[in-house]
């Protein structure tokens, strides 16, 4: 009887600690969300991001850029806190295997998502900056119409490269994804070559007529 009561008390204490961790995590997540959203607007980060394709895509989703990053930050904190709470609960009731499993999930998937997310955001911004530089060169040389399909093709290739690299760094297998994308990339390359060749042919014919 005493042993059963001790186990029950142990479970109740572990559950109370779990609930406490979840509540604290929720409060911290809400505070971080508000802080990130506020600082994104206050520092001009939202306006700066809106110049890039990634920022425009976020705005088209109906959220401000600050809200997007605020929500991502909040959900990461909530998920991590909930998992750590469960790991603590299992540790307190002496389920070492479950504790190790949950901590491995945090280390593999949550931390992997953070690395993937950061690489994708930075990689996409660098890609947009590079393509924007290419377009500026085309404006000065009067070749913007010719460079537009080339620039968007390069943007897509760089996006795919960044995505595959980010998933690989995040710990996910990209072998199947790579095999699927190879024929797609080749198809886009062939279409791009045809478009460029057609553009060049039209310009040559126009010059010949003059």
The CA distance from 30 to 135, in Å, is: 41
For the residues of 31-99, what is the DSSP string, one character each?
HHHHHHHHHHHHTTHHHHHTTSHHHHHHHHTTS-HHHHHHHHHHHHHHHHHHHHHHHHHHHHTT-HHHH
The CA distance from 97 to 100, in Å, is: 5
Indicate whether 201 pLDDT > 70: no
**Integer CA distances (angstroms), 111 to 67, 71, 108, 135, 190, in order:** 22, 17, 6, 36, 38
Convert the pLDDT of each residue in 153-195 to its tens digit: 788 888 888 888 888 887 777 676 677 667 777 776 777 677 6
Indicate whether 145 pLDDT > 80: no
Average pLDDT rounded to a whole number, residues 107-114 = 87
Q: How many residues does the chain have?
A: 210
Instruction: Report yes or no: 90 and 102 within 8 Å, Cβ to Cβ.
Output: yes
- pLDDT at 73 (0 to 100): 93
* Residue 63 backbone zone (phi > 0: left; psi -120 to 50: alpha; other: beta): beta
Indicate whether 2 pLDDT > 70: no
For the residues of 11-47, what is the DSSP string, one character each?
HHHHHHHHHHHHHHHHHHHHHHHHHHHHHHHHTTHHH
Question: Binning pLDDT at 50, 70 and 90, where does residue 128 land?
Answer: confident
Question: Binning pLDDT at 50, 70 and 90, where does residue 20 land?
Answer: very high
Instruction: Report yes or no: 36 and 66 within 8 Å, Cβ to Cβ.
Output: yes
Indicate whether 140 pLDDT > 60: no
Could you tell me the end-to-end alpha-carbon distance of the chain, in angstroms, rounded to an integer? 104
- pLDDT at 72 (0 to 100): 93
Convert the pLDDT of each residue in 65-98 to its tens digit: 999 999 999 999 999 999 999 999 888 888 888 8
pTM recorded for the entire structure: 0.78
Report the SS3 class of residue 73.
helix
Average pLDDT, the chain: 82
Convert the pLDDT of each residue in 28-48 to its tens digit: 999 999 999 999 888 888 888
């Amino acid at each position: 009887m005493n042993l059963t009561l001790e186990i029950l008390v142990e479970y109740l204490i572990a559950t109370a600690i779990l609930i406490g961790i979840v509540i604290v995590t929720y409060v911290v997540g809400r505070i971080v969300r508000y802080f990130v959203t506020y600082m994104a607007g206050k520092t001009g980060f939202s306006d700066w991001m809106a110049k890039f394709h990634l920022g425009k895509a976020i705005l088209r989703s109906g959220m401000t850029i600050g809200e997007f990053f605020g929500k991502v930050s909040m959900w990461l904190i909530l998920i991590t806190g909930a998992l750590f709470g469960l790991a603590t609960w299992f540790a307190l009731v002496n389920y070492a295997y479950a504790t190790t499993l949950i901590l491995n999930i945090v280390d593999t998937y949550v931390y992997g998502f953070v690395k993937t997310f950061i690489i994708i955001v930075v990689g996409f911004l660098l890609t947009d900056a590079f393509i924007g530089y290419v377009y500026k060169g085309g404006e000065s040389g009067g070749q913007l119409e010719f460079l537009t399909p080339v620039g968007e093709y390069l943007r897509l290739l760089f996006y795919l490269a960044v995505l595959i690299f980010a998933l690989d760094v995040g710990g996910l297998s990209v072998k199947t994804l790579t095999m699927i994308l190879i024929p797609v990339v080749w198809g886009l390359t062939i279409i791009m070559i045809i478009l460029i060749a057609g553009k060049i042919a039209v310009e040559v014919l126009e010059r010949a007529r003059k």
